[in-house]
Structure 1
Amino acid sequence: MKHVILGAGPAGVIAAETLRKHAPNDQIVVIGDEPEAPYSRMAIPYLLIGKVGEEGTHLRHTPGHFAALRVELRRGRAKTVDTAARAVVLEDGSRESFDKLLIATGSSPVQPPVPGITGPGVHTCWTLEDARAIMALAKPGARVLQMGAGFIGCIIMEALAMRGVQLSVVEMGDRMVPRMMGPTAGRMIKQWCEAKGVKVYTGARVDAIERPGSAAAAPAPAPAEPGLLSKLASAIGLGGAPAPAPAPAAAAASASGAMQVKLSTGQVLEADLVISATGVRPNIGFLQDSGITCLVGILTDEHLQTNVPGIYAAGDCAEAFDKVSGKTIVSAIQPNAAEQARVAALNMAGQSTSLKGVTQINVLDTLGMISASFGKWDGVEGGQHVELTDEANGKLLSLQFDHEKLVGCNSIGWTEHVGVMRGLVEGEVKLGEWREKLMADPTLLMSAYLATAQAQSAHAHIKPR
């Protein structure tokens, strides 16, 4: 049996290791499109602040790890999947046949169609190559402007701030992390960042990026595959026509050698470096004519199998069923990628295994302010909601209920409740009388969790006569 894995990130590596454990005699080929050893993108911020070197981003550190497992690592980028011939066609024209295929191609940054965004001095922060370019420019005192203040953007922002740069952040939404936190929480995070010296512009977008001595930049091409962005549109900054010629003040400032970044608010900011962190989208364009069903991501069943038998998907490119929302979603966080890869690999090895569900978890450290978001943090239709806010002490606790169940929550500063919130939401625990108690006092989460867990344990030990 030959297994081919497209993607050498966390999902691809975990799938290969799981396959080798449960299919010791099968052939395994992992195809990655970067000239690096398999690494974790989540480690890049630690590289930016100097906590690790490049080797510290690598997923496995033992020399010869993959060779010892008899896992072949191959470099290439998929052009298409020939489902009839059971082969992956690569961009260099070569083909890799398979019996079972796992697509774990991850996601890529979305570049908004802003005039000047493709020129020098503008970078995403997604690959090791990006990190090298950013470290060369983000020196102490450098003027850095970041586009986007979502979950990934805030992680990048913290790393940049720790490098000692003069940092400005521009976010289209009316608050920071708008797809993770409610209005009050998002506003509190913004105020916290501003108190730490970061300039934050919400309700604004970048309309143009101009460079010294150049005419107004030509518009960048629109992102490919617009049909794939229907659920990600809010993460994309929509640029308009090219901006008019610089005002005299902006033209004078350009003599300093800085880029002139024009905002939709009319403000013009100087920048030595611009970071684009406006969202990501699944890498699934190569599947367009393959017959593999894709919505926002690659649609999978509870076994992570696609509509084509023997072809699976996992990680940022996969769309899996979320039991909390009752819908299929793409949830681009590493714990999901790891679990989906494990389940997919077990099924590829012939061990029928089901995914328990997609974990909707985001825990974020923003310059020392800890925030968390679980499940349907924005609530469900007809549900109940309670919010406790203590802005003076930087605390917020917001709970969303659907009848007896806690279905989502936001928190800032309540770090002792993070595990409990996850357990109640993911466990779909029926709270009974504790729902009303939590509506009256949300800080009783730990008591509610212990009481309901004890009740469930007692019920499980009752044996019928």
Structure 2
Amino acid sequence: MKHVILGAGPAGIIAAETIRKHAPHDEILVIGDEPEAPYSRMAIPYLLIGKVGEEGTHLRHGVDHYAKLGITLRRARAKHVDVEGRAVDLDDGTTVVFDRLLIATGSSPATPPIPGIHGRGVHPCWTLKDARAIMELAQPGAKVLQMGAGFIGCIIMEALAMRGVELTVVEMGDRMVPRMMGPTAGTMIKDWCEAKNVKVHTGARVEAINRPEPGILDKLADMAGLKPAHKAAAMTVRLSTGEHLEADLVISATGVKPNIGFLQNSGITCLIGVLTDEHLQTNVPGIYAAGDCAEAFDKVSGTTIVSAIQPNAAEQARVAALNMVGQKAELKGVTQINVLDTLGMISASFGKWDGVPGGQHVELTDLPAGRHLSLQFDGDRMVGCNSIGWTEHVGVMRGLVEGQVRLGDWKDKLMADPTLLMEAYIACAQGQHQFVAGKR
């Protein structure tokens, strides 16, 4: 049996190792499009602040790790999948055949169409190559402007702040992390960042990035293959508010999109991502998907979603790999899960944090203490929540949302006092609550 895995990120590597564990004699080929050893993008912020070197971002250590497991790594990019011929065409002009295929191609930064965004001094923070460029430019005192204050953006922002730069963040939404936090929580995070000397512009967007024309000395230095004779003037970034800001470095952190373009006209069904069933199999038998490019069922919302977080990617990879070797396994579902440390402020968001039509919700906010709690209900189930500062309840909140726990009378108690999450969880786990007739 030959297994071909497209993507050498966490999902691809976990799948390959799971296949090897259960099928010791099967052929495994992992195809990735970067020159480095397989690594975790989530480790890049630690590289930026010097907590790890590049080797510390690697998913596995030891130059012979993959060889010992009989896993072949190859550098290439998929161009097309031939479903009938069970083959993948690669960008190096070759074709590989497969018995089982896993699509784990991840995602890429979504670059907004802004004049000047493709010039020098502008980088996403997505690859090790990006990280090297950012570390060269993000020196103490440098003026850095970051576009985007979402989940990934806030992680990058913290690393940049720790490098001692003068940091400005521009977010189109009316608050920070608008896709995981409600108005109160998102505004609290913004206020916290500004208190930490990060300038934050919400409700704004970058409209253009302008660079001054190089002077004669710079042109002569460039012709001679030397560095500019003097430091070039900073870029000027124009905002939709009419403001003009100077920047030595611009970071683009405006979201990501699944890498699924090569599947066009393949016959493999894609919506936002590659659509999968509970076994992570696509509509084509023997072809699976996992990770940031996969669209799987979310039991809380009742719809399929792309959940681009590493814990979900790892579980999807494990389930897909087991099915690829003939062991029946089902994904219990994916849930939107985000726990974020923003310059020391811990926030969390689970499930339908913005609620459901006809649902109830309760909020508790203590601004002086930097604490906020928002619970969303559908009947007597908690379907989502936001929190800031309630670190002791993170596990319980996740358990209640993911487990779709019927709270019975405890729902009303939480509406009266949302801090009783632990008591509600323990009571419901022990069966000490009332059930709706005929339902659990």
**TM-score normalised to the size of structure 2?**
0.94
How many angstroms apart in 2 are the aligned matches of 1:442 and 1:143?
42
Alignment match of 1:318 (pick from 262, 279, 294): 294
- In the TM superposition, what is the alpha-carbon distance from 1:256 to its structure 2 partner? 6.6
How many angstroms apart in 2 are the aligned matches of 1:188 and 1:17?
42
> In the alignment, residue 66 of structure 2 is paired with which amino acid?
F
Matched with 1:274 is 250
Matched, 1:357 2:322: no
- In the TM superposition, what is the alpha-carbon distance from 1:62 to its structure 2 partner? 2.8
- Where does 1:286-325 land on structure 2 (aligned, <5 Å)? 286-325=262-301
Matched, 1:110 2:86: no
Alignment match of 1:413 (pick from 374, 377, 389): 389
Matched, 1:26 2:18: no
How many angstroms apart in 2 are the aligned matches of 1:457 and 1:342?
35
Instruction: Give CA-to-partner distance per residue, 1:102-147, whole Å, 9 cap, x none.
Output: 0000000000000000000000000000000000000000000000
- In the TM superposition, what is the alpha-carbon distance from 1:454 to its structure 2 partner? 1.1
How many angstroms apart in 1 are the aligned matches of 2:170 and 2:403?
37
Matched with 2:371 is 395
Matched with 1:343 is 319
Alignment match of 1:451 (pick from 424, 427, 432): 427
How many angstroms apart in 2 are the aligned matches of 1:290 and 1:116?
35
> In the alignment, residue 59 of structure 1 is paired with which amino acid?
L
Matched, 1:86 2:94: no
What is the DSSP-based 3-state SS (H/G/I as helix, E as strand, rest coil) of the residue aligned with 1:393?
A: coil
Does the CA-based 8 Å contact 2:350-2:386 persist in structure 1?
yes
Q: Assess, with a 3 A threshold, how the Cα gap between structure 1 residues 412 and 163 changes in structure 2: closer, same or farther.
A: same
> In the alignment, residue 127 of structure 2 is paired with which amino acid?
T
> Matched residues, percent identical?
80
Name the Cα RMSD after superposition. 1.3
- Where does 1:174-253 land on structure 2 (aligned, <5 Å)? 174-213=174-213
How many angstroms apart in 2 are the aligned matches of 1:157 and 1:180?
17
How many angstroms apart in 1 are the aligned matches of 2:57 and 2:291?
18
Instruction: Give CA-to-partner distance per residue, 1:274-299, whole Å, 9 cap, x none.
Output: 00000000000000011100000000
How many angstroms apart in 2 are the aligned matches of 1:110 and 1:317?
14
- Where does 1:413-432 land on structure 2 (aligned, <5 Å)? 413-432=389-408
> In the alignment, residue 59 of structure 2 is paired with which amino acid?
L
- In the TM superposition, what is the alpha-carbon distance from 1:457 to its structure 2 partner? 11
- In the TM superposition, what is the alpha-carbon distance from 1:359 to its structure 2 partner? 2.6
Does the CA-based 8 Å contact 2:377-2:383 persist in structure 1?
yes
- Where does 1:37-48 land on structure 2 (aligned, <5 Å)? 37-48=37-48
Does the CA-based 8 Å contact 2:408-2:434 persist in structure 1?
no
Q: Assess, with a 3 A threshold, how the Cα gap between structure 1 residues 444 and 175 changes in structure 2: closer, same or farther.
A: same
What is the DSSP-based 3-state SS (H/G/I as helix, E as strand, rest coil) of the residue aligned with 1:184?
A: helix
How many angstroms apart in 2 are the aligned matches of 1:200 and 1:256?
26
> In the alignment, residue 404 of structure 2 is paired with which amino acid?
E
What is the DSSP-based 3-state SS (H/G/I as helix, E as strand, rest coil) of the residue aligned with 2:421?
A: helix
Instruction: Give CA-to-partner distance per residue, 1:185-225, whole Å, 9 cap, x none.
Output: 000000000000000000000000000127xxxxxxxxxxx
Matched, 1:152 2:128: no
> In the alignment, residue 290 of structure 2 is paired with which amino acid?
A
Q: Assess, with a 3 A threshold, how the Cα gap between structure 1 residues 94 and 457 changes in structure 2: closer, same or farther.
A: farther
Q: Which runs of 5+ in 2 are unaligned?
A: 215-230, 436-440
Does the CA-based 8 Å contact 2:409-2:433 persist in structure 1?
no
- Where does 1:4-153 land on structure 2 (aligned, <5 Å)? 4-153=4-153
Instruction: Give CA-to-partner distance per residue, 1:236-256, whole Å, 9 cap, x none.
Output: xxxxxxxxxxxxxxxxxxx97
What is the DSSP-based 3-state SS (H/G/I as helix, E as strand, rest coil) of the residue aligned with 2:420?
A: helix
Matched with 1:462 is none
What is the DSSP-based 3-state SS (H/G/I as helix, E as strand, rest coil) of the residue aligned with 2:139?
A: coil
How many angstroms apart in 2 are the aligned matches of 1:37 and 1:457?
52
How many angstroms apart in 2 are the aligned matches of 1:62 and 1:91?
29
- In the TM superposition, what is the alpha-carbon distance from 1:352 to its structure 2 partner? 1.0
Q: Assess, with a 3 A threshold, how the Cα gap between structure 1 residues 456 and 347 changes in structure 2: closer, same or farther.
A: farther
Instruction: Give CA-to-partner distance per residue, 1:40-81, whole Å, 9 cap, x none.
Output: 000000000000000000000133110000000011000000
Q: Assess, with a 3 A threshold, how the Cα gap between structure 1 residues 328 and 420 changes in structure 2: closer, same or farther.
A: same
Instruction: Give CA-to-partner distance per residue, 1:280-321, whole Å, 9 cap, x none.
Output: 000000000111000000000000000111000000000000
User: Aligned pairs, how many?
Assistant: 419
Matched, 1:328 2:304: yes
